[in-house]
Homo-oligomer: A and B are copies of this chain.
Amino acid sequence: MATTALTLSAAPLWAQEAEETQVIGISIPAATHGWAGGMNYFAQAAVERLEEVYPQLDFVLATASDPSKQVSDIEDMVATRGIDALVVLPFESEPLTGPVKAVADQGVWITVVDRGLSEPGIEDLYVAGDNPGFGRVSGEYMVSALPEGGKVVALRGIPTTIDNERVAGFEEAIAGSGIEVLGMEHGNWNRDDAFTVMQDFLSKHSQIDAVWASDDDMAVGVLAAIEAAGRSDVKFVLGGAGMKEMIARTRDSDPMVPANVTYPPSMIASAIEITALGLVSDAPVAGRFIIGSELVTPENAEQYYFPDSPF
């Protein structure tokens, strides 16, 4: 008996690893549409791709409609599936911090996506979008699209750090250009709020050259308000986040939607793929990966259009 045990444990480490299946748990907020719907789609697609490429990896994907369901999903993954790694996009930071820390303390690799936990240092890998970059790329586009300068209005999201970082990046990028910001108001990343805010802007200002809607949902509301008002002075609306319908309009050279700036829900796929990489290769993947915001134009829009995604 003792000899057998010794022989087994003397097998080369790579051989032991090759035989062993490793399990990655993925816990994300549920959604059937919008940005979160896209995130769900890309998480599922990444799992399917990885299952095909790496037979030695198994995946558990759970979606939750509230933080307490998400906590119990995660506890379940540890208890019944013995996960080796957890990829989590927290529903909310506060209620998930303690439970995720408890999982980390058991030696499970932790990848946190997009929304950070309330305590630093719990996760091994953090994957998130680039909010200052989102604003900067948007501002740079405005400057290039209005080379003679012009009068613009801007819509902000829900008052948050994310929104502040985006706006700061935008303002820095247009500083010193001929662009004059007539007004900036919170449309709360909401279509209806954005419609109302834009109605106000249109009634206050007789000449608006362009709108930084800063989000595709808000852009939809803004475009509706412009159409309802019958105004032809507004040359274009710049949204953001890469909603499918808006990417299609850019691809099809709609002059009102000439560009987009990404904040891709597919960052969940990057997080899952890189977590998998940490299990199948010697490449170090602990750290902080900030996914860049990229400018989408008619020339490259096709590569940002995913026909099967809901977003």
List residues of chain A with CB under 8 Å of any chain B CB: 42, 45-46, 49, 53, 124, 130, 262, 264, 266-267, 269-270, 272-274, 277, 281-292, 294, 306
- Report B-chain residues with C-beta under 8 Å of the C-beta of A292: 124, 284, 286-288
Measured CA separation A274–B290 after assembly (Å): 13
Given contacts A53-B53, A274-B274, A277-B273, contact A287 B291 (CB under 8 A): yes
Measured CA separation A289–B127 after assembly (Å): 9
- Report B-chain residues with C-beta under 8 Å of the C-beta of A282: 42, 45-46, 266, 269, 306
- Report B-chain residues with C-beta under 8 Å of the C-beta of A294: 284, 286
Smallest CB–CB gap between A26 and chain B, Å? 14
- Report B-chain residues with C-beta under 8 Å of the C-beta of A264: 284
Smallest CB–CB gap between A133 and chain B, Å? 8
Q: Which has the most chain B C-beta neighbours within 10 Å: A262, A267, A285? A: A285
Contact indicator A273/B266 (Cβ below 8 Å): no
Smallest CB–CB gap between A147 and chain B, Å? 19
* 11 A-B interface contacts by CB (under 8 A): A46-B283, A124-B292, A130-B287, A264-B284, A266-B284, A269-B284, A270-B283, A270-B284, A273-B277, A273-B281, A286-B292
Beta-carbon nearest neighbor of A124 in chain B: B292
Smallest CB–CB gap between A258 and chain B, Å? 21
Q: Give 19 A-B pairs besides A49-B281, A266-B284 with Cβ atoms closer than 8 angstroms.
A: A46-B283, A130-B288, A266-B282, A267-B284, A269-B282, A270-B283, A270-B284, A270-B285, A272-B283, A273-B277, A273-B281, A273-B283, A274-B277, A286-B294, A287-B290, A287-B292, A288-B289, A289-B289, A289-B290
- Report B-chain residues with C-beta under 8 Å of the C-beta of A291: 284-287
Beta-carbon nearest neighbor of A302 in chain B: B13
Measured CA separation A204–B285 after assembly (Å): 42
- Report B-chain residues with C-beta under 8 Å of the C-beta of A306: 282
Measured CA separation A130–B287 after assembly (Å): 8
Q: Which has the most chain B C-beta neighbours within 10 Å: A281, A288, A290? A: A281
Measured CA separation A215–B261 after assembly (Å): 42
Contact indicator A46/B281 (Cβ below 8 Å): yes
- Report B-chain residues with C-beta under 8 Å of the C-beta of A42: 282-283
Measured CA separation A165–B266 after assembly (Å): 33
Q: Which has the most chain B C-beta neighbours within 10 Å: A273, A282, A290? A: A282
Given contacts A53-B53, A273-B277, A277-B273, contact A262 B284 (CB under 8 A): yes
